[in-house]
């Protein structure tokens, strides 16, 4: 286990104080800080203010050194918010609230787009819009298990004529992401029906088009925070075959809006089941969109925040 040296701690505080010179918190009753990186901003908390830590990652089994570092600042917060109950460290001694993430239906990635644009986008990248498409949208990361998705596709391909499309990206400073991308490219170099697309981070309408053009969407993660790409696809009335991990299992109602699977073989079985039945895909797609409409849109997200803020201010 790596340790956080005193020099690193001092450097972190230096960056915190540099940020504090650029941000004026004095006019706010409630301040919400997202994730561990800026958690130290709470040193500027003023009398009467309420500060909330919004954590987007799984802290259930933290490295002791990292947790000791975070804990130095947590004592000054009034509450914490997590995506899922199982992401909360058992030794967390703040009031904890659960708010699941959401999608914005008016964002370019989710807004309605013409069928012609969907078709043109697929053709632009060499994908045949007339042949069923299996799609996985995710960054190139081993935890997203693109290799397991590819394995499932190869099983499906034995019985159905179809295409596999990986839509993703990686940050310039992410050497592991580049490694996974190149490894996947090399594995599929001779595959005419597999497409590995590394798109710029602002390719929202392209992702939208691929999700709308897909026949079945797969999310074959090994570990997952929440995985909102599942809700994005469900909003577009697509059945999703997802790994039974993290937030994926909260979004998919097994057998109603999609399927939860434990292996590549299980994923292949469910994809084949969906490809063999237009009516099943249509029925699941309808229920998928309804579930997102009632549970995973920003309107519900805003309501949750307002309720928690009201409760915290009322308690004070």
Residues 35-60 pLDDT 10s? 989 999 999 999 999 999 999 988 99
CA–CA gap between residue 138 and residue 286 (Å, rounded): 23
**Topology, domain 115-295:** Rossmann fold (3.40.50)
Q: Which residues of 93-124 are buried (b: 16+ CB within 10 A; e: fewer)?
A: eeebbebbbbbebeeebbeeeeeeebbebbee
CA distance 3 to 262: 35
- Contact 185/196 with Cβ under 8 angstroms? yes
31 is written with which tokens?
Answer: 């301040």
Across the beta sheet with 240-243, the strand order is: 194-198, 163-168, 133-137, 216-219, 240-243, 258-261
Residue 298: which H helix or E strand, with range?
helix 298-315
- Cβ pair 184, 191 in contact under 8 A: no
Q: What is the pTM of this model?
A: 0.89
Q: Please tell me the distance from the alpha carbon of residue 62 to that of residue 57, in angstroms, as a whole number.
A: 10
CA–CA separation, 215 vs 162, rounded Å?
A: 9
Over its length of 316 residues, how does the chain's per-residue pLDDT go in tens digits?
A: 567 788 888 898 899 999 999 999 999 999 999 998 999 999 999 999 999 999 998 899 998 888 888 898 999 999 999 999 999 999 998 999 999 999 999 999 999 999 999 999 999 999 999 999 999 999 999 999 999 999 999 999 999 999 999 999 887 767 789 999 999 999 999 999 999 999 999 999 999 999 999 999 999 999 888 999 999 999 999 999 999 999 999 999 999 999 999 999 999 999 999 999 999 999 999 999 999 999 999 999 999 999 999 999 998 6
Q: Domain map of the chain by residue range?
A: 6-101+298-315, 115-295
Same fold, 6-101+298-315 and 115-295: yes
Q: Hey, is 147 helix, strand or coil? A: helix
Q: Which two tokens stand for residue 313?
A: 């201010």
Q: Which of 109, 93, 276 is nearest to 206 (CA)?
A: 109
Rounded CA Rg of the chain: 22
**CATH placement of domain 6-101+298-315:** 3.40.50.2000
Per-residue pLDDT tens over the stretch 180-206:
999 999 999 999 999 999 999 999 999
């Amino acid at each position: 286990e790596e340790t956080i040296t005193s020099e690193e701690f001092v450097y972190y505080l230096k960056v915190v104080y540099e940020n504090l010179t650029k941000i004026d918190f004095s006019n706010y009753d409630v301040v919400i800080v997202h994730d561990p990186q800026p958690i130290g901003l709470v040193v500027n908390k003023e009398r009467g203010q309420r500060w909330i830590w919004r954590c987007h990652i799984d802290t259930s089994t933290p490295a002791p050194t990292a947790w000791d570092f975070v804990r130095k600042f947590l004592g000054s917060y009034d509450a914490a918010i997590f995506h899922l109950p199982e992401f909360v460290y058992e030794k967390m001694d703040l009031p904890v609230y659960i708010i699941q993430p959401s999608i914005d239906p008016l964002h370019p990635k989710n807004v309605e787009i013409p069928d012609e644009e969907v078709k043109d986008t697929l053709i632009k990248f060499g994908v045949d819009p007339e042949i069923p498409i299996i799609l996985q949208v995710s960054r190139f990361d081993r935890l997203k298990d693109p290799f397991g998705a590819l394995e499932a596709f190869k099983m499906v391909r034995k019985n159905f004529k179809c295409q596999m499309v990986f839509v993703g990206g990686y940050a310039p400073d992410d050497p592991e992401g580049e490694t996974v991308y190149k490894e996947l490219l090399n594995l599929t170099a001779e595959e005419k029906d597999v497409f590995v697309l590394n798109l710029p981070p602002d390719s929202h309408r392209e992702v939208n088009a691929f999700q709308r053009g897909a026949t079945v969407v797969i999310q074959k993660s090994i570990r997952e925070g929440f995985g909102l790409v599942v809700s994005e696809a469900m909003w577009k009335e697509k059945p999703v075959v997802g790994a039974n991990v993290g937030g994926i299992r909260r979004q998919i109602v097994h057998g109603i809006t999609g399927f939860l699977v434990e292996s590549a073989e299980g994923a292949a079985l469910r994809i084949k089941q969906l490809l063999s039945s237009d009516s099943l895909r249509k029925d699941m797609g309808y229920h998928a969109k309804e579930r997102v409409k009632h549970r995973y849109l920003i309107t519900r997200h805003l309501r949750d925040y307002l309720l928690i803020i009201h409760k915290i201010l009322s308690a004070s």
